[in-house]
Structure 1
């Protein structure tokens, strides 16, 4: 019988080497196919994938990362996490220093301005992200980190 008071084990995440390898393979797939593979629009139960172009906070050099996203109306939302590891991803630190960026989505690119969702907006967007994660318990994964996972809202730079 299932004991509802029994502690639940922490979620299982792949080892760091696996996550880093998966990221490298994903970037290579995008490059080898000339961008025809590797990006996708979000759909019910599945988050999207986009390329995020940032400017290095110290070097001023162009940086690119492929990250998961969901749509919130005209806005794009992503989680600033580093494979559920503690340090924030470099792209998020870069966006905090230089919030204007470019994103590549299936069908085109656009200029955006990044900001962190807080308060009620963050709670609402967390629920949106949860709806796109079929098999993962985002709350359990988030509890593995020492600080809340920032949700980054990418709004059109023209607004």
Structure 2
């Protein structure tokens, strides 16, 4: 959450000349705001909708931005095993500046409490993120456009059999 997946993904897709798909946007386009889904139907119902959106988005050549919790699903983890996965990380100070409303898992309380909830969620999910990642880019300090350029350059240079790496 708040690492810049949507903004960076859109720029990378444009640079590579492929479609961009944001699974959160796919869910909201059909089912309405995620915060409403959480409030009215619960997180479990949202995760079912998210799983279908991920499955659909991974079909064909595209840059796909997944919601931060999408990888909690074992089927999504299996699907991602056959794809290049870019992990975007962000530090606590940067997250504090980026967090805004519309994040059901962080809503309620003040900004400090939201950052603490983010940190707890990020820490719990990080082993899964790292196990799936082909490469990692930190988005904390550099302009989003530079990070997107670095990812696109990395993707163009990446050859078959390239080992997992971090930047």
Tell me whether the two structures share a fold, i.e. TM-score over 0.5.
Answer: no
TM-score, L = length of structure 2: 0.27
Which structure has the larger Rg? 1
TM-score, L = length of structure 1: 0.28
Larger proportion of strand: 1
